[in-house]
Amino acid sequence: MNRPIYLDHHATTPIDKRVIDIMLPYFYEKFGNASSIDHVYGNEAVSAVNKAREQLAHDIGCHSEEIIFTSGATESDNLAIFGVARILKEKGNHIITCVTEHKAILDSCKQLENEGFNITYLKVNQDGEINLKELENVITPKTIMISIMAANNEVGTIAPLKQIGLIAHKNNILFHTDAAQSFGHIPLNVKELSIDLMSISAHKIGGPKGIGALYVSNDKPLVKIMPLIYGGGHEKGMRSGTLNVPGIVGLGEASRLAHEEMKITEIKLEKLRNKLYNGISSQCTVKINGNSKNKLNHNLNISFENIDAKALINEIKNELAVSTGSACNSNDVKPSHVLLSLGFDEERAFSSIRFGLGKTNTEEQIDFAITEIIKAVNKLSNL
């Protein structure tokens, strides 16, 4: 086994070799600019981009022209939040989101507050779930958007997307979801779920970093957004800039593989996740953070009684690669805002570790991880 064993797939995933293989020609042989359609090089690039766009559209149940390529889910989140807010500000200035959202959403909403928008941050229960009745109650005539992530990036809780979408559309409100962690792991048919905008990332599913997409509905309702980046009018005027053709090709292939192999992969991940939890909990006093059932199969976030998570990670860092939570907050000494929002105190938050399993992990690796974690916990307990 390679060491340290990688168990932080929420932060990023290794690129699938099959994705690399399909990307390589677009770095040197088929290097054309997708906007240069007067020659074969540009046409090759356009063809590759269109194929990837069609693949993503197939995988989420939308039209290919509704896929806008971006640099990743963070940009997609920003484009959705600011793009809708600024173009609909005459209609209303109220947005509803949730306290456990990714910082890409929360920080964008904080900035909108500085611009005069009103933001409602829904609370969650200890499982990380919003109250749908509360969601309905906070809607006002000025509400223009609801943004709730499809599955939480720290505790893995899956949101009731269909119910949220129905509530949004019943009130003539747009529904955006950040699907960075759930895309490729659970079925996400945007039409069936009444999703109007959805953020996607490649590097969470075995694709390259620096590429993502935003689904923008043009079908009941037609969603219009104000761009963040100007110059050239690429991507239907919503996101100007030379297209990252190799990255787009990689995103398309990663999406294809993830969706074709989803059933088999998710059965494997659930089995490994349960094995990891059962092995650790048989020897250590731990508590699961988030919903123990309605969650992503590759997520396990647990708190260790009377153990500092950073100390535990430091003890096992040569053997296992894990984290305390979001990669965006890895340098932050504050406790996880997600865990505090679940109603836990700082002691529990500081004693929690997030394990993110991936399709390359094996039972042998999980057995090794269990042994190393138990050994480290016992050592720290005796200090």
Active site residues: 328
What gap in Å lies between CA 357 and CA 268, rounded to an integer?
10
SS3 72: coil
* Number of other CB atoms surrounding residue 136 within 10 Å: 11
| C-alpha–C-alpha distance, residues 322 and 229, integer Å | 35
Q: Based on the number of CB atoms within 10 Å of its own CB, is 161 exposed (0-12), middle (13-18) or buried (19 or more)?
A: buried
CA 161 distance to own-chain centroid: 14
Distance in angstroms (rounded) separating the CA atoms of residues 117 and 112: 5
Cβ-contact 342, 124 below 8 angstroms:
yes
Are the C-beta atoms of residues 289 and 344 closer than 8 Å to each other?
yes
Furthest C-alpha separation in the chain:
71
Neighbours of 65 (CB within 10 A): 11
Determine the residue type at 362.
Answer: T
**Contact predicate 5/361, CB 8 Å:** yes
Number of helices followed by number of strands (H, E) in the chain: 13, 12
- Within the chain, strands assigned E span 5-6, 67-70, 94-98, 118-122, 143-147, 174-178, 197-201, 212-216, 286-288, 299-304, 320-321, 352-356
- Rounded Cα gap, residues 175 and 80, in angstroms: 10
Q: Angle of helix 73-87 relative to helix 103-114, nearest 10 degrees?
A: 30
